[in-house]
Structure 1
Amino acid sequence: MASSTTVQELEAEADDQPVEPWPRGISRRATMRISDVLAALQIEFPAVTNSKLRFLEEQGLVQPVRTPAGYRQYSPADIERLRYVLRQQRDRYVPLKVIGAQLAALDAGEEDDVPLRAQLATRDGVRPAPATGARLTAEALAREAGVDPEVVTGLVTAGVLRPTASGHFDAWARDVVVLAVALGEHGVDARHLRVFRTAADRQADLVEQIVAPWRGRHAPSSRARAGTLAAEVGELCTQLHTALVRAAVSELAP
């Protein structure tokens, strides 16, 4: 009578089995085209583009199957992998190299699986325009921020807000107005806020210098790289500014 398989033998056999890449337990049958992927990601990541997907592929973060005709096809597992990458960029501003290392650890089973759940969002690294696609007029901006139109006018006069040539404002203008009003309650008026505008412009100039080599290229993946890099470096500038202000303010407390 043959002896039964021991626990040690079973464990050895399990060790010899290749670890299924992350995410595990999700279909890897590649039947989805890029258009299908964009539709699946649209609700959570409305700013994701065809170029962005190709750029993430070039970085080795997702590996769609190629048909004999050269078309890319994605699986449900690829979709979840893309969601992980896009969330890490959008929510935590994690650099792509770090995300790649995180995925490698998940693939190897060295890290715990992250929960797979969707969440409604309004930006993907770079914040898109409002859902309507239209920019805000001064009157609409005042309504959105819950302030009198004179407040918006005052911020424009002080150089804090800059409308386009057509007199419209971008998607970030509402945040600027709301924060300016909050500071106004502490006696900080619009003219005092010019220093913030100047600092932001200088930081934007620095970011522009960093991404300029990528913006000068014509390949769609290069433009996607420029957008990703601008978002990452811009957020690092924001975090550094925040840390410096907090450190300075902490010295004012007894």
Structure 2
Amino acid sequence: MAAEHQVAPESGERGELLNIGQVLDLLREDFPGLISIPKIRLLEQDGLIAPHRTASGYRKFSHRDVERIRYVLRMQRDHYLPKKVIAEHLDAIDRGLEPPEPGPVVPTVPTVALSSDGIPSPDSFRRTDNLRLSRKELVKIAEVSDELLRELEDARLIAAVRGYYDTDALVIAQTAKELAAFGIEPRHLRGMKAAADREVGLVQQIVAPQLRTNDPAARARAAETAAEVAALSVRLHATLVKAGLKQP
């Protein structure tokens, strides 16, 4: 079992028992905002830890208890595991077994289909997925700040749909973060959004006649046409930028 997932075995050093305040001090630095005295009490209530009690009723924690709390917090923070699953892991550890490796933190993000030169192909425009990310998940996966995400939303580059963000929002956030390293802020990208909207309008104008019919085959052809035209439009746009940069 990887060191990240290990819980220290029972040491038997009962003279090193800690009070709840000392446990809080040990864990606060690694889990800021996640650990508190009520949280520790809740873990005991849920049966995930079982601290000793003095004759007067005070909780006393062994170093093994501290490691169990650390494990619970890590699994909740890094892998979003529910308490029921964490309890199963701890039971396996108690019985000398190794818990299973945690699965992905979030649904696997589909890879955008790109042609060999890095320009999106028609397949990338046909791609559909059901990925829905919460705001917290988007910030975590894209590794962007809440402030940058708000600026992208203010610039209308990203928008949540019914409270969730899709794959495109993730790619936009990641790309905007990389551009920010060069001093390009979301407000500077409004022109790109306007240009993209014009390209979308052009594609929609081309397929509009096919979409006005009730013929399913015609509507399917409209989707194919939209993907082809969109890919060609992006290729032309990228090539024009490339050619413009070559000019003295």
Q: Which TM-score applies when normalising by structure 1?
A: 0.47
Q: Which TM-score applies when normalising by structure 2?
A: 0.48
Higher relative contact order (CA 8 A, sep 6+): 1
